[in-house]
Amino acid sequence: MEETILEMRGITKRFPGVLALDKVSLDLRKGEVLALVGENGAGKSTLMKILSGAYETDSGEIYIDGAKTEFNTPRQAIEFGISIMHQELNYLDELSIAENIFMGNLPLKKTGLVDYPLLMKETKKYMEIIGLNRDPVLEMKYLSVGERQMVEIAKAISRKIRILIMDEPTAALNEEETHKLFEIVKGLSAEGISVIYISHRLDEIFEVSGRVMVMRDGTKVQTLETSKTDKNEIVRLMVGREIKDMYPHEQNEKGDFALEVDGLSIFPGQDVSFSLRKGEILGLFGIMGAGRARIVEAIFGNEAFKCRSLRIDGAPAHIRNPHMAIKYGLAYVPSERKKEGLILIHSVKENISIAALSFFKKLVFFLDHSHEAETANKWVSRMSIKTPSLATQVESLSGGNQQKVVLAKWMMTEPKVLFMNEPTRGIDVGAKIEVYKLMGEFCKNGLGIVLISSELPEIMSIADRILTIQDGNITGEFNKGEYDQEMLLSAALGEQSDGNN
């Protein structure tokens, strides 16, 4: 019988007007990787915040090694060997790798000063464990996202943890970094460290976990052995219904050109030309760092660029900043919705209307708040945004509903072209399907969409046409049905010039 090191029994947590957790129980074995899945709002994060000491329970008990345990702060949880790696990484850019790994736990001399030789020695030991080949004194701002993720793991290991909670650890990683992370997770498991692995990417669940616990609406649905289930069953348990079409997408009639780009360059040697028709979804695919986002952000005015010709809806466009881009009919859904797409402490209404405030001007310096609320409410209804009210702070919504608020914000500007950068990152299966359906509806109404996605199944299913990008240039163009996964990856790596040849 495998040793059980953690039991959470009958955990209940209420917030004003919301029962977030309803008598949820969880058990974890020594050295096990337990996957925790569920739609946004299912209660996963609340349960893990209780386990990591950020929240107190209203009722329920926690047992570690069979002994009833109480802790009410993250520091107390760490003392019990429990550490959490959040989706939004917690690091300080200006400090070194070593200082970030031992943040709050720096080795000190008897004088009270930091023992830097010991700090470097210990840092190198943990960097070797995770396979990070960098100088310990290098500042965090010079690391890739994947390397910063590895530093977070090293920080957790340095605290002599027994249980590591990983919340969407691969959300911003490329394929190579993701596989490296999997190896680290398997290594931790082999050393007897237990991992609770939260992810919306179900393929990962089957790669790393031995069991999977499914949650829905604040309750535990079922715990299954990963080897004895499949994605369809997990999705059905998550959403409470059968998902027959994971990637709903209709072939819409394509209209005139919505966007024409000829000879765009941000840096010497770059020469990007492509077009987008009304009603079309054009996919941009490439490995992380290929330059997909820079192309889109340049057109949207976030970066200086040169272009032989840029036309929107058939007319010449000269864009120098996002304000001008919006006036020309462009909209941009960024990959980091919490940092770039939303003002988290503002209301749902304010976030939806912020890009189109000129529509609600009343006299010179005033807004027609009644009209603003009425219009925002229409978008909440149209996009099925689940929110207690328009006045609710957007940070309290689930990830999927936050993303729909971002979409509503841009659709209120009545765009002609919508750029979408990783639009389903970090949202659950049900919310993804809703976003896909909204994209199809927008296209049916004549909108042109440029989709950036790192998920091959998504971009292959949703896009009408795909451009592969490497080092900021287009390496291939593929019409729907004329490619497979291998062809796209080869082109994205520069090994194939054109899928139509």
Question: Residue 489 sits in which domain range?
Answer: 255-329+415-501
pLDDT of res. 245: 66
Residues 56 and 200 in one domain: yes
DSSP code, position 487: H
Is residue 498's pLDDT more than 70?
A: no
- The tally of domains found in the chain comes to 3
Residues 441 and 314 in one domain: yes
Residues 185 and 219 in one domain: yes
- The pLDDT tens digits for 157-167 are 888 889 999 98
Phi, psi of 168 (to 5 degrees): 50, 55
Residues 66 and 113 in one domain: yes
What residues form DSSP beta bridges with 27? 7
HEC string of 291-357 equals: CHHHHHHHHCCCCCCECCEEEECCEECCCCCHHHHHHHCEEEECCCHHHHHCCCCCEHHHHHHHHHH
Residue 37 is which amino acid? V
Specify if 248 maps to a domain: no
Residues 304 and 435 in one domain: yes
**Band of the pLDDT at 238, cuts 50, 70, 90?**
confident
Query: In the structure encoding, which two tokens stand for residue 318, read together?
Result: 């000269």
Specify if 249 maps to a domain: no
In the block, tokens 């000129």 appear at 358
Query: In the structure encoding, which two tokens stand for residue 476, read together?
Result: 């291939």
Residues 113 and 47 in one domain: yes
Give the CATH number, domain containing residue 487: 3.40.50.300
pLDDT of res. 241: 61
pLDDT of res. 501: 41
Is residue 497's pLDDT more than 60?
A: no
Residues 450 and 500 in one domain: yes
| Domain stop point among 176, 207, 239 | 239
Query: In the structure encoding, which two tokens stand for residue 347, read together?
Result: 């209301």
Contact call for residues 492 and 456 (beta carbons, < 8 A): no
Q: What is the DSSP string of 370-406?
A: HHHHHHHHHHHHHTT---S-TTSBGGGS-HHHHHHHH
Query: In the structure encoding, which two tokens stand for residue 132, read together?
Result: 């990070």
Residues 205-239, buried b or exposed e (16+ Cβ, 10 A)?
bebbbebbbbbbebebbeebebeebeeeebbebbb
Q: Where are the alpha helices (DSSP H) in 131-218?
A: 145-158, 175-190, 202-208
Specify if 335 maps to a domain: no
Which of 158-172, 195-209, 239-253, 368-382 is predicted least confidently? 239-253
- As a whole number, mean pLDDT of residues 2-10 equals 92
Neighbouring residues of 146: CB distance < 8 A, sequence distance ≥ 6: 172, 173, 174, 176, 177, 180, 181
Q: Tell me the C-alpha distance between 488 and 304, whole Å.
A: 29
DSSP code, position 267: S
Q: Tell me the C-alpha distance between 437 and 203, whole Å.
A: 22
Specify if 42 maps to a domain: yes
- As a whole number, mean pLDDT of residues 142-147 equals 80
Q: Is the pTM of this model over 0.85?
A: no
Residues 322 and 442 in one domain: yes
pLDDT of res. 323: 93
Is residue 391's pLDDT more than 60?
A: yes
pLDDT of res. 243: 58
Residues 349 and 219 in one domain: no
Q: Between 499 and 52, where is the model more confident?
A: 52
- As a whole number, mean pLDDT of residues 347-359 equals 89
pLDDT of res. 283: 95
Rounded to 10 degrees, the C-alpha dihedral 357/362/367/369 comes to -110
Query: In the structure encoding, which two tokens stand for residue 322, read together?
Result: 């996002």
Residues 136 and 271 in one domain: no
Specify if 245 maps to a domain: no
Rounded to 10 degrees, the C-alpha dihedral 270/276/282/285 comes to 0
- The pLDDT tens digits for 35-74 are 999 877 788 889 999 999 999 999 999 999 999 998 888 8
- As a whole number, mean pLDDT of residues 145-164 equals 84
Specify if 379 maps to a domain: yes
| Domain stop point among 368, 397, 414 | 414
Greatest Cα pair distance, the chain, in angstroms, is 75
Contact call for residues 443 and 411 (beta carbons, < 8 A): no
| Domain stop point among 209, 239, 269 | 239
- As a whole number, mean pLDDT of residues 275-281 equals 96
Q: Tell me the C-alpha distance between 320 and 334, whole Å.
A: 18
Rounded to a whole number of angstroms, the distance between the first and last alpha carbons of the chain is 59
Describe the crossing of helices 175-190 and 145-158 by its angle, rounded to 10 degrees: 10
Q: Between 299 and 70, where is the model more confident?
A: 299
Residues 179 and 148 in one domain: yes
**Band of the pLDDT at 294, cuts 50, 70, 90?**
very high
Residues 41 and 21 in one domain: yes
Quick one: which H or E segment has residue 13?
strand 4-15
Sign of CA pseudo-dihedral 473, 475, 481, 484: negative
Write down the mean pLDDT value for the chain. 88
- The pLDDT tens digits for 304-344 are 999 999 999 999 999 999 999 999 999 999 988 888 889 99
Q: Tell me the C-alpha distance between 429 and 435, whole Å.
A: 10
- The pLDDT tens digits for 91-139 are 788 889 999 999 888 888 888 898 999 999 999 998 888 788 899 999 9
- The pLDDT tens digits for 22-39 are 999 999 999 999 999 987
Specify if 262 maps to a domain: yes
Q: What is the DSSP string of 214-231?
A: EEETTEEEEEEEGGG--H
Specify if 172 maps to a domain: yes
Q: Between 146 and 418, where is the model more confident?
A: 418
